[in-house]
């Protein structure tokens, strides 16, 4: 029943999106940043509805750790399709997500993602992947945060997949802080009992900012592992909140 309600809502949202696209396009002609802010507010409202219909009972921790006066690189684990809605409704900064290029083929969704400064990564083409990372660096320098799940795909089971080190170049080259993000139990909403959607407790925690240049040489050399261990500690700690 929850799945049907969400599908109906998304269909209605995409229908409403047609006139909204025109409004966003006009806003963007005059002020690109205002367009991003406007589009993010609309998408956040839509995601709040999706999470409500899914029965997600949210616990949010550490939101005050995110700097409000500078863009950041959010680094998160990835367990579920619901990770992005849960993250987006809690982000305090204008943020574009790094997504796999296949998502760019989805009508309506790719348009909203374009308004939101999202980037599409070709995981099979190293050269194109590098170009995407360079675009992400430019966006951070322009004042937009970037959200990346360095596992590259949704992990199965409790263990995270190895983090891809290339994702961290966004912070290393731009100088922005890294915010580790731990998302717990979102797979219990959907993936663990596909195709049903069931109500579940979910947790998102924002860790303290990490400035790579302030780390010692060994931590800088293994930055991906360093951040992943911090996220793992948060995940282990927060598991008791959903059991």
For residue 225, how many C-alpha atoms fall within 13 Å in the half-sphere facing its CB?
5
Cα 134 to Cα 117, 167, 179: the distances in Å are 14, 10, 19
The residue segments making up the domain with residue 214 are 2-241
User: How many structural domains is the chain composed of?
Assistant: 1
Q: Residue 87 sits in a domain of what CATH number?
A: 3.40.1130
Average model confidence (pLDDT) for the chain?
Answer: 93
Q: pLDDT band at 19, cuts 50/70/90?
A: very high
* Nearby residues of 38 by Cβ (< 8 Å), 6 or more positions away: 23, 24, 27
By the 8 A CB rule, do 198 and 55 touch? Answer: yes
pLDDT of residue 130: 86
pLDDT attached to residue 156: 66
Nearest by Cα to 188 from 76, 56, 52: 56
- Mean pLDDT computed over 41-66: 97
Element at 50 (helix H, strand E): helix 32-54
What pLDDT does residue 164 have?
Answer: 86
Distance CA 173, CA 161 (A): 24
Q: How confident is the model at residue 203 (pLDDT cuts 50, 70, 90)?
A: very high
Q: Where are the beta strands (DSSP E) in the chain?
A: 56-61, 73-76, 95-100, 119-121, 145-148, 178-184, 200-206
Helix and strand numbers (H, E) in the chain are 8, 7
Q: Across residues 9-38, what is the average pLDDT?
A: 95
Model confidence, pTM: 0.94
In whole angstroms, give the CA distance from residue 14 to residue 25: 16
Model confidence pLDDT, tens digit, residues 167-193: 899 999 999 999 999 999 999 999 998
């Amino acid at each position: 029943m929850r799945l049907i309600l969400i599908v109906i809502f998304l269909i209605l949202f995409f229908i409403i999106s047609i006139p909204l696209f025109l409004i966003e396009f006009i806003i963007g002609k005059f002020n690109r940043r205002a367009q991003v802010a406007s589009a993010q507010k609309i998408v956040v409202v839509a995601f709040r509805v999706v999470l409500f219909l899914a029965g997600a009972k949210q616990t949010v921790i550490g939101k005050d750790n995110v700097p409000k006066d500078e863009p950041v690189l959010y680094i998160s684990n990835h367990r579920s399709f619901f990770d992005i809605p849960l993250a987006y409704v809690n982000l305090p900064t204008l943020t574009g997500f790094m997504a796999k290029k296949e998502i760019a083929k989805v009508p309506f969704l790719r348009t909203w993602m374009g308004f939101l400064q999202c980037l599409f990564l070709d995981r099979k083409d190293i050269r194109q992947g590098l170009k995407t990372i360079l675009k992400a660096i430019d966006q951070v320098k322009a004042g937009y945060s970037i959200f990346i799940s360095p596992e590259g795909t949704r992990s199965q089971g409790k263990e995270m997949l190895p983090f891809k080190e290339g994702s961290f170049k966004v912070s290393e080259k731009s100088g922005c802080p890294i915010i580790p993000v731990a998302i717990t139990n979102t797979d219990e909403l959907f993936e663990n009992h596909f195709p049903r959607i069931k109500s579940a407790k979910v947790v998102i925690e924002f860790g303290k900012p990490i400035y790579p240049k302030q780390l010692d040489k060994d931590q800088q050399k293994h930055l991906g592992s360093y951040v992943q261990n911090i996220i793992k500690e948060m995940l282990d700690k927060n598991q008791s909140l959903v059991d």
